Chains A and B, each alone.
Chain A
């Protein structure tokens, strides 16, 4: 049991640093791929049913981080709920959007690309790329590239989110950690009975 805990703990070690680093890298790479002015990742907080700006590169990066809004409003909310990627230009025409953007960041993007971050049947959030240069007309190949990159980002984020949850469970506060500690200190007979129970639980959950 101790060996098992040590192995799992080693596997998830550094998950928090890796998580922040991955989010930062995702928005930086997205911004670089499309030569855009800014990029952001909004993750879904399921408990609060809100979208949260978790990483921002470029314009608006200081003021947007941590900002939240209801999960099914605006373009990002639409992308989250309907799973459909979107590209919109001339956003300055949308007075409601422009006002909100100006109030929160002072930066009003002209164009916006948004793609859902999907893993299996779950949606983790939305990746946005703002103001790509207007030199070439937008092409469907770029749309596909956005989708592919969004897919890669979602898979990586999902892995790290799982590692974070595993670490939280092992960090002593979680029920799993308390259970493991009790089992470790129990007599051999009780350990065997406990493991038997665990196997039954596993079968039940399968």
Chain B
């Protein structure tokens, strides 16, 4: 698929590195001795960071969401899947909620909505995959995935996409499951997986010493944007995920050079239980 094809466009050593070439790939390393939240995102607004919300759509002009740069919908007709610009907004309320949370944390980030809901249950996993492929092709910095699939026949493709995104510097942030089932993509090491904690502080983040769930963020009784310009209260890992997406947008807006691997390290080092909050 095209996503995998444009992974490396620059001339860099791919499979081996000659002894003389070490200097030519010197990477910036201006990390302080102690990574603090002030260093990580102090003064950041999310400006310049492109965030994609893969969900049920986002209501246009919701006061808690503000400007949505672009809205597309993924639809399925027979075997054909299309991605097209869309003005129908949100079919459920959930996507608007996620977008509002991201906006509340990173007020100046750029938001794009990709609707992967509404094409019927039967084609839902294929539509989700097509939406994710599109998002990776577009080169978003962050993709918020407050969703999962249990369909095993799509696991390999999802895994390929998660790895492709990782190497293209698109960070996938995915909701973990708090039910005893095998679901994806949150279990993959290449994504940032998120569960909920009970603190009302949107910046309290816990690093989990026992993955696969890697981080816990605010997911209980969260005031969220909903369809019809409404504001309601909700609970679920779905709402913890955009908190981490928002914090990642802040970090990336201040440190554009970070790879997903480095971003995850910063998240870890600034987690509340690792000494973050300082």
Contact: B150 with A90, CB < 8 Å? Answer: no
Contact: B232 with A91, CB < 8 Å? Answer: yes
13 A-B pairs, CB-CB below 8 angstroms? A44-B121, A75-B92, A77-B92, A78-B56, A78-B117, A84-B238, A86-B236, A87-B234, A90-B230, A94-B230, A123-B121, A137-B221, A143-B178
CB distance from B183 to the nearest CB of A (A): 6
Contact: A139 with B220, CB < 8 Å? Answer: yes
Q: Which residues of chain A are within 8 angstroms of B227 by Cβ–Cβ distance?
A: 94, 96
Q: Which residues of chain A are within 8 angstroms of B220 by Cβ–Cβ distance?
A: 138-140
CB distance from B7 to the nearest CB of A (A): 28
Contact: B92 with A73, CB < 8 Å? Answer: yes
- Closest 9 A/B residue pairs (Cβ): A82-B147, A93-B230, A71-B121, A87-B235, A147-B179, A90-B232, A89-B233, A121-B150, A78-B92
Contact: B150 with A122, CB < 8 Å? Answer: yes
A72: CB under 8 A from chain B? Answer: yes
A95: CB under 8 A from chain B? Answer: yes
User: Which residue on chain A has the smallest CB distance to residue B237?
Assistant: A84
- Which of these, B117, B219, B226, contacts A81 with CB under 8 Å? B117
- Counting chain A residues whose Cβ lies within 8 A of the other chain, the interface size class is 35 or more
Q: Which of A78, A96, A137 has its CB near the most chain B CB atoms (within 10 A)?
A: A78
Q: Which residues of chain B are within 8 angstroms of A143 by Cβ–Cβ distance?
A: 178, 196, 235-236
Separation of A120 and B182 alpha carbons in the complex (Å):
7
Separation of A93 and B124 alpha carbons in the complex (Å):
28
By a beta-carbon cutoff of 8 Å, the part of chain B in contact with chain A is 56, 91-94, 117-122, 124, 146-152, 175, 177-183, 196-198, 219-221, 226-228, 230-238
12 additional A-B pairs beyond A73-B92, A77-B91, A143-B235, beta carbons within 8 Å, are: A71-B122, A72-B118, A84-B238, A87-B234, A88-B235, A96-B227, A118-B181, A120-B150, A121-B151, A121-B182, A123-B150, A144-B178
Q: Which residues of chain A are within 8 angstroms of B149 by Cβ–Cβ distance?
A: 82-83
Q: Which residues of chain A are within 8 angstroms of B94 by Cβ–Cβ distance?
A: 75, 78, 86
Separation of A73 and B175 alpha carbons in the complex (Å):
20
User: Which residue on chain A has the smallest CB distance to residue B220?
Assistant: A140
Contact: B118 with A90, CB < 8 Å? Answer: no
Q: Which residues of chain A are within 8 angstroms of B56 by Cβ–Cβ distance?
A: 78
Q: Which residues of chain B are within 8 angstroms of A75 by Cβ–Cβ distance?
A: 92-94
Q: Which residues of chain B are within 8 angstroms of A83 by Cβ–Cβ distance?
A: 147-150, 177, 181, 183
User: Which residue on chain B has the smallest CB distance to residue A81?
Assistant: B124
- Which of these, B91, B151, B181, contacts A73 with CB under 8 Å? B91
Q: Which residues of chain A are within 8 angstroms of B237 by Cβ–Cβ distance?
A: 84
Separation of A182 and B91 alpha carbons in the complex (Å):
52
Q: Which residues of chain A are within 8 angstroms of B232 by Cβ–Cβ distance?
A: 88-91, 93-94
Separation of A73 and B124 alpha carbons in the complex (Å):
12
CB distance from B255 to the nearest CB of A (A): 30
Interface residues of A in 79-131 (CB under 8 A from B): 80-91, 93-97, 115-116, 118, 120-123
User: Which residue on chain B has the smallest CB distance to residue A47?
Assistant: B122
Separation of A140 and B238 alpha carbons in the complex (Å):
13
